[in-house]
Structure 1
Amino acid sequence: MTDAQLHRPSGQHRTGRGRTGTVSALRLLGKIVAAIVSASLLVGAGYFRTSYTSLERGLHRVSVGGLGQPAPVARGDTPKQVDGSAQNLLVIGDDDRSGLTPQEIETLHVGAASPTTSTDTLLLVHVPANGAKATLISIPRDSYVAIPGFKNAKINAAYIDGAQYGTDGFPVTSSSSDAEKQAAGITLLIRVLKNLTGLRIDHYVLVNFLGFFHIAQAIKGVTVNLCHAVDDSRSGFVQSAGVHHLTPVQALEFVRQRHNLSDAQGHQLNDFGREARQRYFLAAAFNKIETAGTLLNPSRLNGLIAAIKSTLTIDDGLSLTTLAHQMLDLTSGNIAGQTIPTEGSQMFPAPVGSALIVDPATVQRQIQRWLHPSRAGPSSTPGGSTRTSSTSAAPSKSGSAAPAQHGCIN
């Protein structure tokens, strides 16, 4: 992956006359919306500039610690950071169900609200300086890690620990606001992820539990291709093998499913399968959002912006325009997905239970192979980068995604 920044003539970003200019502006606007959803973004002129301004002013921003700072480096080692204008974005999905009515809980098959918020979806999105590709790296929620200031636990406990008890520079008391608790939780989570991956984290996007549903609702669903028939009573997702255009409710069921999923060899996928589904959904949503058919519909565009404003939280330093321009050449076919390598599971005393063993040194070496293959040389682990739009991830010690039947997902 090159770190050379690619620039277009400045006039090429401006809205020209006629339909060609309008569609060009819409594509850039689509990058801003799509970027904040699947880790990209947008800008436009006229009506589209107004839409962008509405999005920019309406986003909920929370300042946190640790962003943009290098990850710790072991003694005697040298930093292996992204450079130039390459960026690493952390996408956090939480399971907040507060405010749902009993009817909504039943319709969406989500169950009652829990007393604490868990971050069951953790994605690191690497955007190289030229913006032509993106790599989505899933961090399994059951990864057993060190949490500074607390006992070792599953990684999805980091946010809860920080939000309840605070962390360095972000104290939490009984009088702390929800935003202050959120900032402490995200700050501690960022620290844990930097220690695990060795990557600098530049920005974050927090998507609440209904974010997938609201976004799918705004873009009128997404199309998926299933390798096998699916029947999961827990998520409610029931479909035959083949291509399906999912309704918003079905899209939420699709990204939540973790049971009754197996690969071609019959291995149960569980959380690995759900992570692959989430990456698949993001690629599909990105592809649909950036099409002129979606963006030329003012009602649909306004609905999408409203959904984003109501479901997303971002850091106060994330520039939508900068990221949009950087990702101008990104297409859904150039979004690759991976899951960090794990080394089996182990039982721990309550309340941890069964957790996945991860070795930070192994994780960091594998991530560098994914992001900088020309520097790292051939990987010692099987498999390689796979497109989220056409593959399914199987659990393995290497963390690589096993190719599925072309164009479909398990």
Structure 2
Amino acid sequence: MTSAKKSKATKTTSLLPRWLSWALGIAFLVTAVSVSSLAYLTASAYWDSPFNPLDSNDGVAIAAQGELLDIESILGNNGTDAGLPPAVVTELVAQNEPFLVPTLESTGRTNILVMGIDRRPGEPYLSRTDSMIVLSIDPTENRAAMLSIPRDLYVTIPDYGQNRVNTAFVYGAQYGSPAQGAELAMETVSYNLGLPIHHYLTIDFNTFVQAIDTLGGIDVDVPTTINDTMYPDMNYGYAPLYIPAGLNHFDGELALKYARTRHQDSDFHRAARQQQVVMAVRERVLAQGVNGLLQQGPLLLNQFEEGIRTDLSPGQMLALASAASQIPAENIDTAVLDSNYVTPYTTPGGASVLILQGHLVGPLIQSLFD
């Protein structure tokens, strides 16, 4: 497998208002990361507790020590986002002067770990990651890839032993900052998949729902009728969900529900639906074009300011978005670490998790990212 090279940016002659350039730069990345926020409202988040449920399976068990670490106490003691890089648009809203849009010049592949953070508006940013997708952009081959990582994947977390992959963020942040949590999550994914991870981006579900509505909704071709009589509502009851097979137009809330439902199949099918939603958002953004973003850019920026965090610089985001916009849909490869690549396992503490099948995952990683 070839290693990714560091991307460089050069300037083109295109001039755009600064806020519009930011909107364009964020637009494609949001299509890739928006799905991460969908998992925030997964069914298990409501079966036991609406806020970071803690039980024998969801607590953080450090295998090397044989202890159960109380996630709630960690979140309560360090529930601040002071160490996280500021929202991507915080300092740019008031700047309207035109500037040159950078483009990618190098032949390197850039891999970004996008994470949905399990939090609601107004809550601290330090929470478990309920969804992870590795987004990869290769400008040389004009290709992109998305790989969904199940939250119950049992992995080695550097310096912390074995645990679910979705606990790495909290481990890294508990004695440092949320930014360090993101760094440990990147290191964990890289270590277990043998894949370099260069950047991270996090998003919350409310930002996704609002962005979908601002864009006017999305069109999704539903392959199989959804009839979920046990779809959970916000009050521990049920709100039956029915979506007919065929082409459907979703607003933000319905898109969230479509990606959240899983009772009729599995988490793996849900991950596939989430990727389907990502592609639908991408098509909607591309269809809007510059004129559409001119009309909706300020509102989108206001939404992004509160719900998206990243270590990508403005130039990197714009360069990646520029490269990604040139990649046709047929050149975007998608995969889920599903039952073809993992096997169920019960830990000594009784937690139900998933174990990677390395001899099968290796070829998949090569096919997607090589």
The bucket for the TM-score relative to the shorter chain is 0.5 to 0.7
Does the alignment pair 1:326 with 2:299? Answer: no
Equivalents in 1 of 2:127, 2:231: separation in Å?
20
3-state secondary structure, aligned to 2:91: helix
Q: CA separation of 1:345/1:317 partners in 2, compared to 1, >3 Å: closer, same or farther?
A: same
Contact 1:31 1:327 in 2 (8 A): no
Alignment correspondent of 1:78: none
Contact 2:203 2:307 in 1 (8 A): yes
User: Matches of residues 126-205 of structure 1 in structure 2 within 5 Å?
Assistant: 126-130=136-140, 132-164=142-174, 166=175, 172=176, 180=177, 182-205=178-201
User: Matches of residues 12-27 of structure 1 in structure 2 within 5 Å?
Assistant: 13=14
Equivalents in 2 of 1:297, 1:37: separation in Å?
14
Equivalents in 2 of 1:120, 1:204: separation in Å?
15
Aligned length: 290
User: Matches of residues 197-276 of structure 1 in structure 2 within 5 Å?
Assistant: 197-232=193-228, 233-234=230-231, 236=239, 237-261=241-265, 270-276=266-272
Q: CA separation of 1:188/1:198 partners in 2, compared to 1, >3 Å: closer, same or farther?
A: same
Does the alignment pair 1:86 with 2:96? Answer: no
Equivalents in 1 of 2:197, 2:90: separation in Å?
21
Equivalents in 2 of 1:57, 1:39: separation in Å?
23
Alignment correspondent of 1:310: 306
Alignment correspondent of 2:31: 38
Deviation at 1:84, TM superposition (A): 3.0
Residue deviations 1:135-186 (CA, integer Å, cap 9, x gap): 101111111111122231111111122222x3xxxxx3xxxxxxx2x11211
Deviation at 1:98, TM superposition (A): 4.6
Contact 1:294 1:301 in 2 (8 A): no
Does the alignment pair 1:117 with 2:127? Answer: yes
Contact 2:23 2:300 in 1 (8 A): no
Equivalents in 2 of 1:29, 1:290: separation in Å?
15
Contact 2:29 2:321 in 1 (8 A): no
Alignment correspondent of 1:345: 344
The list of structure 1 runs, each at least 4 consecutive aligned residues, that deviate by more than 4 angstroms after superposition, is 1-5, 7-11, 28-31
Alignment correspondent of 1:95: 118
Letter in 2 for 1:346: Y
Q: CA separation of 1:348/1:339 partners in 2, compared to 1, >3 Å: closer, same or farther?
A: same
Equivalents in 2 of 1:314, 1:141: separation in Å?
20
Residue deviations 1:222-243 (CA, integer Å, cap 9, x gap): 1111122212232554211111
3-state secondary structure, aligned to 1:124: strand
Contact 1:162 1:185 in 2 (8 A): yes
Deviation at 1:306, TM superposition (A): 2.0
Equivalents in 1 of 2:118, 2:271: separation in Å?
15
3-state secondary structure, aligned to 1:245: strand
Contact 1:129 1:326 in 2 (8 A): yes
Question: Where in structure 1 are there 5+ consecutive unaligned residues?
Answer: 16-21, 41-53, 60-82, 101-112, 167-171, 173-179, 262-269, 373-410
Contact 2:111 2:199 in 1 (8 A): yes
Equivalents in 1 of 2:255, 2:290: separation in Å?
18
Contact 1:219 1:288 in 2 (8 A): yes
Contact 1:93 1:206 in 2 (8 A): yes
Question: Where in structure 2 are there 5+ consecutive unaligned residues?
Answer: 34-87, 94-105, 233-238
Contact 2:25 2:319 in 1 (8 A): no
**RMSD of Structure 2 on Structure 1 (CA):** 3.6
Equivalents in 1 of 2:179, 2:116: separation in Å?
15
3-state secondary structure, aligned to 1:327: helix
Deviation at 1:31, TM superposition (A): 4.8
Task: Pick one of 69, 80, 91 that aligns with 1:57.
Answer: 91
User: Matches of residues 389-408 of structure 1 in structure 2 within 5 Å?
Assistant: none
3-state secondary structure, aligned to 2:161: coil
Equivalents in 2 of 1:8, 1:289: separation in Å?
24
Letter in 1 for 2:224: H
Task: Pick one of 353, 365, 368 that aligns with 1:367.
Answer: 365
Equivalents in 1 of 2:312, 2:248: separation in Å?
38
Contact 2:218 2:249 in 1 (8 A): yes
Alignment correspondent of 2:80: none
Equivalents in 2 of 1:305, 1:256: separation in Å?
25
Equivalents in 1 of 2:207, 2:348: separation in Å?
34
3-state secondary structure, aligned to 1:356: strand
3-state secondary structure, aligned to 1:277: helix
Equivalents in 2 of 1:294, 1:317: separation in Å?
22
Deviation at 1:33, TM superposition (A): 2.9
Equivalents in 2 of 1:369, 1:198: separation in Å?
13
Letter in 2 for 1:157: T
Question: TM-score, normalised to structure 2's length?
Answer: 0.68
Letter in 1 for 2:91: R
Q: CA separation of 1:366/1:296 partners in 2, compared to 1, >3 Å: closer, same or farther?
A: closer
- Higher RCO (C-alpha under 8 Å, 6+ residues apart): 2
Alignment correspondent of 2:353: 355
3-state secondary structure, aligned to 1:310: helix
Equivalents in 1 of 2:190, 2:11: separation in Å?
36
Deviation at 1:191, TM superposition (A): 1.1
Deviation at 1:37, TM superposition (A): 0.3
Q: Identify, as 1 or 2, the structure richer in strand.
A: 2
Residue deviations 1:70-112 (CA, integer Å, cap 9, x gap): xxxxxxxxxxxxx932111111112212538xxxxxxxxxxxx
Letter in 1 for 2:108: S
Equivalents in 1 of 2:10, 2:167: separation in Å?
43
Deviation at 1:294, TM superposition (A): 7.5
Deviation at 1:244, TM superposition (A): 0.9
